[in-house]
Amino acid sequence: MTVTSNLVQVSKDGEIAVITINNPPVNALSPGVPEGIAEAIEILAADSQVKAAVLMGAGKTFVAGADIKEFGKITSGERRGSELVELLLKMEDCPKPLVAAIHGTAFGGGLELAMAAHYRVANPGAQVGQPEVRLGIIPGAAGTQRLPRLAGVAKAVEMCAEGNPVKAGEALASGILDRLIDGDLRAGAVEFARQIAGKPAPKTRERNEKLGTPEHNAPIFRTARQNARNKQRGMIAPLAAIDAVEAATLMPFEQGCDFERNRFTECLFSEESKALIHVFFGEREVAKIPDVPKETPLLPVRAAAVVGAGTMGGGIAMVFANAGIPVLLAEVDQPALDRGLANIRRNYANSVRKGRLTEQFVHERLKLIQPTLGFDGFSTVDMVVEAVFEGMELKKQVFAELDRVCKPGVILATNTSTLSIDEIARSTSRPEFVIGTHFFSPANVMRLLEIVRGRETSKEVIATCMQLAKKLGKVGVLVGNCRGFVGNRMFGPYRREAQFLVEEGAGIEAVDKALFDFGMAMGPLATGDLAGLDVGWRIRKEYRHLEDPHVRRPFAEDKLCELGRFGQKTGAGWYRYDEQRRAESDPAVPALLKEWTEKAGVPQRVISSDEIVDRCIYALVNEGARILEQGYALRATDIDIIYLYGYGFPSYRGGPMWYADRVGLDKVYNRVCGFHRQFGALWEPAPLLEQLASQGKTFSGFQTGRGVAA
């Protein structure tokens, strides 16, 4: 039994044929796979000895879906997906029962394939899902039509619109799976196939009993649309997915498939989908560091320590504990330690109350966090993350002490957000083991981890931290050692423009709303209030003597701080806050702004939301271009991922550099030049932006050709 495509194999186990998809690493439905399955079906249909068949994946998974790389190659507007739809009809029409046997994941086209089989069995650890919305598309091979027929309308809407995976146990309960198989999946699936061989093979497309009635379904679709508008704000794919599931309840199967295919094609050609596919591959690309090969030996991180149990240190200790790594948490004195531990307990208790974690999980994690004073116990750990106050002298003292107490080969990481890794490293006798691990606040929630490479940081230490990021549930991005690293260095100009805009008369809410409507998770002024306006104010006061008096700088935030308005923590900043930290506008601030801007002689004018967005976002882009050119980020994609996971940039816009590419760098450059003429030196165009714009190129295509600069 040989199939022409080498991506699909057929073997026999008595009267049961086993079709195996073998397209590593994830058995995506790349060209050759659907054809191979179709051929296999023909072979077994014609073989009178075969009574039933099992369809499974080789290697670590069933099928992770359509081949996403293929989507990028599609440039014309023709309708897509129909070939796969045809294959699935052929499977369903196969006179001999087909059993899909799932291990790992059956995602997207993988689940669609399984649903066209007559039965589905799975290992208890398997997962199924329709994650297409995360790529800005919807299922394109009848997933929105078959899933409600198996799982019911509510579950299908949830899965197709939100894209979350469903574990095997839940999939069994909702009707997607027919049986769970402990132990050897192939043997169990073959045994199952023997049991159903010769019996009528149920076709999913003909099972209409779970499709409900319009009255029953109406509230399901209404709530799903509301949720999509709130939780996936600005995206079209979730709403299209809901429409397609609704079509399954209103139309015959074939028409429903047609409806789905039209919406799928619309989504596939959207900017949203291009951006989200860029994000999918970008997330994986950032893990690849040209001069730190995959084979680089890793250091063991079996036990860790965190110095400082403040805002960041406590969160970082939770991150280690959540990943099952025991962690010492060190403070200067007992009251500080008690405060830190109380915060950790409160954080965990909130998660339990919200149903995100179980009591049992929290109990286990708390046992892994071992409080300590000074550096007691540090001689046994494999990695230390320092998170004490931001001050070079203090950091140097701490690192000198760590150098003294830690065993050789320990990774010494700092969570500093502004200080030089190299200077900190020089206070030790082992700078090759020193690295920056810049967590974002709240550390136990935010997924970004900037990993800062010092001049002497060893490749083993970098490779270990990149790997560790994944283990800790973070997205690690390697950056160079410049002031503010990548994320905060770009955030400076972004927030500077937001403040200038307010000082020029744009209105506080108008600035925040324009950027919120652009898709940012929060407006820049509200973000300042959340993080604390005093943080930047203190730094600016320290470095004031270095400022050029001829360059304009924003003043309103300094003045707010002088009035004790530090943001949420003091109940007032740009906005005022109630006990629950809910923001409302504060008429005092526009009045103060009027007084201050009059005194400073800043002309007031009407400012459009387009100008607000362009000034803030292009300030990010222009600084991003400098960072890229100077080699502090490896690729434009790395900057994009930093902004998506650390700064609430909308994923459906792909990140600031991707966004600029899509607008067109010539347009961006011209706008930046306009701002340069209007507002002066701060808007000097980055040379790389000018160069790429004049050559008609993009940031995505730009390679520094060297590793990240330390």
Instruction: Choose, by CB under 6 A, the member of 249, 351, 417, 499 that binds ligand NAI.
Output: 417
CA distances from 540 to 139, 525, 558, 597 (A): 51, 17, 9, 20
Strand ordering across the sheet containing 105-107: 105-107, 127-129, 166-167
Residue 330 binding partner per list ligand NAI, ligand 3HC, none, with a CB distance cut-off of 5 to 8 Å that depends on partner kind: ligand NAI
Residues 385-424: x/- map of binding to ligand 3HC (CB under 6 A)? ----------------------------------------
The rounded distance, in Å, linking the Cα atoms of 416 and 407 is: 23
The rounded distance, in Å, linking the Cα atoms of 223 and 201 is: 35
Residues 331-360: x/- map of binding to ligand NAI (CB under 6 A)? xx---x------------------------
Burial class (CB in 10 A: 0-12, 13-18, 19+), 582: exposed
DSSP state of 342: H
The rounded distance, in Å, linking the Cα atoms of 98 and 290 is: 45
Min CB(84)–ligand 3HC separation in Å: 6
Asked if 346 is part of the footprint of ligand 3HC (rule: CB under 6 A), the reply reads no
DSSP state of 78: -
**Adjacent-strand bridge partners of 486:** none
Asked if 272 is part of the footprint of ligand 3HC (rule: CB under 6 A), the reply reads no
Helices marked H in 269-391 — which ranges? 271-285, 311-322, 334-353, 359-368
Min CB(405)–ligand NAI separation in Å: 12
Min CB(410)–ligand NAI separation in Å: 17
Asked if 57 is part of the footprint of ligand NAI (rule: CB under 6 A), the reply reads no
Instruction: Choose, by CB under 6 A, the member of 416, 428, 481, 499 that binds ligand NAI.
Output: 416
User: Which residue has 């790992």 as its token pair?
Assistant: 104
Min CB(388)–ligand NAI separation in Å: 4
Helices marked H in 408-563 — which ranges? 421-425, 459-471, 487-503, 508-518, 524-531, 533-543, 556-562
The rounded distance, in Å, linking the Cα atoms of 325 and 311 is: 20
Note the maximum CA span of the chain.
Answer: 93
In the complex with ligand NAI, the residue whose CB is nearer, 330 or 413, is 330
Asked if 437 is part of the footprint of ligand NAI (rule: CB under 6 A), the reply reads no
Secondary structure element (H or E) that encloses residue 439, with its range? strand 434-439
The rounded distance, in Å, linking the Cα atoms of 120 and 112 is: 11
The rounded distance, in Å, linking the Cα atoms of 531 and 605 is: 29
Asked if 387 is part of the footprint of ligand NAI (rule: CB under 6 A), the reply reads yes
Q: Which of 153, 79, 142, 86 is nearest to 115 (CA)?
A: 142
* Residue type at position 157: V
Asked if 450 is part of the footprint of ligand 3HC (rule: CB under 6 A), the reply reads no
Min CB(22)–ligand 3HC separation in Å: 14
The rounded distance, in Å, linking the Cα atoms of 73 and 128 is: 27
Residue 132 annotated to the active site:
yes
Asked if 651 is part of the footprint of ligand 3HC (rule: CB under 6 A), the reply reads no
Residues 6+ apart with CB under 8 A from 292: 459, 462, 463, 466, 707
Residues 526-545: x/- map of binding to ligand NAI (CB under 6 A)? -----x--------------
Min CB(392)–ligand NAI separation in Å: 10
Instruction: Choose, by CB under 6 A, the member of 37, 64, 176, 688 that binds ligand 3HC.
Output: 64
Min CB(123)–ligand 3HC separation in Å: 15
The rounded distance, in Å, linking the Cα atoms of 179 and 172 is: 7
Asked if 311 is part of the footprint of ligand NAI (rule: CB under 6 A), the reply reads yes
Asked if 330 is part of the footprint of ligand NAI (rule: CB under 6 A), the reply reads yes
In the complex with ligand NAI, the residue whose CB is nearer, 397 or 604, is 397
Size of the site for ligand NAI (CB under 6 A): 24
Residue 218 binding partner per list ligand NAI, ligand 3HC, none, with a CB distance cut-off of 5 to 8 Å that depends on partner kind: none
Asked if 107 is part of the footprint of ligand 3HC (rule: CB under 6 A), the reply reads yes
Instruction: Choose, by CB under 6 A, the member of 127, 232, 322, 415 that binds ligand NAI.
Output: 415
Return the range that interacts with ligand 3HC (CB under 6 A); candidates 134-142, 412-420, 585-593, 693-701.
Answer: 134-142
Asked if 109 is part of the footprint of ligand 3HC (rule: CB under 6 A), the reply reads yes
Using an 8 Å Cβ cutoff, are 52 and 14 in contact? no
Asked if 389 is part of the footprint of ligand NAI (rule: CB under 6 A), the reply reads yes
Strand ordering across the sheet containing 434-439: 369-373, 327-331, 304-307, 383-386, 411-414, 434-439, 448-453, 475-480
Task: Say how far residue 554 (Cα) sits from the centre of its chain.
Answer: 32
Min CB(317)–ligand NAI separation in Å: 11
Residue 509 annotated to the active site:
no
Asked if 457 is part of the footprint of ligand NAI (rule: CB under 6 A), the reply reads no
Return the range that interacts with ligand 3HC (CB under 6 A); candidates 62-70, 198-206, 432-440, 559-567.
Answer: 62-70
Compute the Cα dihedral for 290, 294, 297, 298 and give only its sign: positive
In the complex with ligand 3HC, the residue whose CB is nearer, 85 or 94, is 85
The rounded distance, in Å, linking the Cα atoms of 613 and 205 is: 47
Query: Which one of 35, 42, 70, 132 is the catalytic residue?
Result: 132
Asked if 25 is part of the footprint of ligand 3HC (rule: CB under 6 A), the reply reads yes
Min CB(264)–ligand 3HC separation in Å: 7
Query: Count of CB atoms within 10 A of residue 26's CB?
Result: 19
Write out the two tokens for 348.
């965990």
Asked if 260 is part of the footprint of ligand 3HC (rule: CB under 6 A), the reply reads no
Apex 486 CA angle, 490 and 509, nearest 5: 30
Query: Which one of 42, 83, 92, 112 is the catalytic residue?
Result: 112
The rounded distance, in Å, linking the Cα atoms of 203 and 257 is: 15
Instruction: Choose, by CB under 6 A, the member of 4, 11, 69, 380 that binds ligand 3HC.
Output: 69
Min CB(414)–ligand NAI separation in Å: 7
Asked if 132 is part of the footprint of ligand 3HC (rule: CB under 6 A), the reply reads yes
Instruction: Choose, by CB under 6 A, the member of 398, 449, 465, 616 that binds ligand NAI.
Output: 398
Min CB(125)–ligand 3HC separation in Å: 13
Question: What residue ranges bind ligand 3HC (CB under 6 A)?
Answer: 25-26, 28, 64-69, 81, 84, 105, 107-109, 112, 131-132, 135, 139-141, 143, 281, 284
Active-site residues, by number, are: 112, 132
Question: What residue ranges bind ligand NAI (CB under 6 A)?
Answer: 307-313, 330-332, 336, 387-390, 394, 398, 415-417, 439-441, 531
